[in-house]
């Protein structure tokens, strides 16, 4: 039984987590933009996706590859500014078909936002968005950027993967 990591990100945090998980487990890592990234070659899948504008960025790829994703064990790690919360669960739920979601173990991770890496107009959009955010810390994060990258937060994912790999050893 073989597994692989497929990630979708834009500014590097999701890729960094995917690489850390790959280094810790020996699983191959694919950017979903890579046309050779074929989930049907693997028995268990680790899907990594950033959250932009309240949605998983992997959602279109997941829908396009639905048949290849079904029937395989799957972990999803999301990478966002928001931490584990009901609103994050709502964004994930709104991004994926319910049948697929019911087969997934979701682990929320937190990323980073470096304002020097985004365009001035995007900074403006984030600033305007922050006016409507009721959470004072999230408002501050949207306006000034943040860095919540934490290598140790991948530990639960490593344990889940080791469980899959142990099952493989037993068969
Ligand atoms: C344009 C934009 C929109 C974002 N929208 C959200 C959001 O809706 N909710 C959230 O929690 N974080 C949001 N974030 C924060 C990102 O999820 C965070 O920066 C993440 O680390 C990005 O992952 P990446 O570096 O792999 O692209 C947004 C960031 C940007 C730049």
- CATH number of 61's domain: 3.40.50.360
What separation in Å is there between the alpha carbon of 56 and the centre of ligand 1? 10
Claim to verify: residue 67 and residue 136 sit in the same structural domain? no
End-to-end, the C-alpha distance of the chain in Å comes to 9
Does residue 14's CB lie within 6 angstroms of at least one atom of ligand 1? yes
Claim to verify: residue 141 and residue 155 sit in the same structural domain? no
User: pTM value?
Assistant: 0.95
Measure CA 148 to chain center: 14
What separation in Å is there between the alpha carbon of 40 and the centre of ligand 1? 29
Claim to verify: residue 20 and residue 56 sit in the same structural domain? yes
- Report the pLDDT averaged over residues 86-107: 96
Q: CB 60: neighbour CB atoms within 10 A?
A: 13
Domain of 122, in residue numbers: 113-147
Q: What is the pLDDT of residues 25-74, one digit of tens each?
A: 999 999 999 988 899 999 999 999 999 999 999 999 999 999 999 989 99
Claim to verify: residue 80 and residue 26 sit in the same structural domain? yes
pLDDT at 1: 73
Which residue of 52, 79, 122 sits with most ligand 1 atoms within 8 Å of its CB, as the best mutation to test the pocket?
Answer: 52
Atom of ligand 1 nearest to the CA of 15: 26
Claim to verify: residue 126 and residue 153 sit in the same structural domain? no
pLDDT > 80? residue 171: no
Claim to verify: residue 125 and residue 165 sit in the same structural domain? no
Long-range contacts: 152-159, Cβ < 8 Å, 24+? 153/109, 153/110, 154/17, 154/20, 154/21, 154/24, 154/77, 154/109, 156/107, 157/21, 157/46, 157/75, 157/77, 157/107, 158/21, 158/24, 158/25
Claim to verify: residue 122 and residue 56 sit in the same structural domain? no
Q: How far apart are CA 94 and CA 150, in angstroms?
A: 26
Output phi, psi for 118, to 5 deg.
-110, 155
Does residue 118's CB lie within 6 angstroms of at least one atom of ligand 1? yes
- Report the pLDDT averaged over residues 131-136: 92
Claim to verify: residue 118 and residue 88 sit in the same structural domain? no
Claim to verify: residue 91 and residue 124 sit in the same structural domain? no
Claim to verify: residue 56 and residue 138 sit in the same structural domain? no
Claim to verify: residue 103 and residue 160 sit in the same structural domain? yes
Claim to verify: residue 129 and residue 107 sit in the same structural domain? no
Helix/strand/coil for 149: coil
Count structural domains, the chain.
Answer: 2
pLDDT at 169: 56
Atom of ligand 1 nearest to the CA of 9: 26
Does residue 82's CB lie within 6 angstroms of at least one atom of ligand 1? yes
């Amino acid at each position: 039984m073989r597994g692989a990591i497929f990630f979708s990100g834009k500014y590097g945090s999701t890729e960094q987590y995917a690489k850390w998980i790959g280094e810790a487990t020996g699983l191959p890592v694919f950017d979903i933009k890579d046309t050779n990234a074929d989930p049907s070659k693997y028995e268990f899948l680790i899907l990594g996706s950033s959250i932009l504008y309240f949605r998983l960025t992997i959602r279109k790829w997941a829908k396009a590859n639905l048949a290849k994703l079904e029937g395989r064990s799957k972990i999803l790690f999301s990478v966002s500014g928001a931490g584990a919360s009901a609103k994050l669960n709502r964004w994930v739920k709104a991004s994926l078909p319910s049948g697929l979601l019911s087969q997934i173990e979701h682990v929320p991770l937190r990323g980073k936002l470096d304002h020097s890496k985004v365009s001035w107009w995007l900074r403006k959009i984030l600033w305007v968005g922050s006016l409507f955010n009721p959470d004072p810390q999230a408002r501050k994060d949207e306006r000034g950027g943040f860095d919540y990258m934490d290598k140790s937060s991948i530990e639960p994912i490593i344990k889940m993967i080791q469980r899959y790999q142990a099952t493989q050893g037993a068969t």
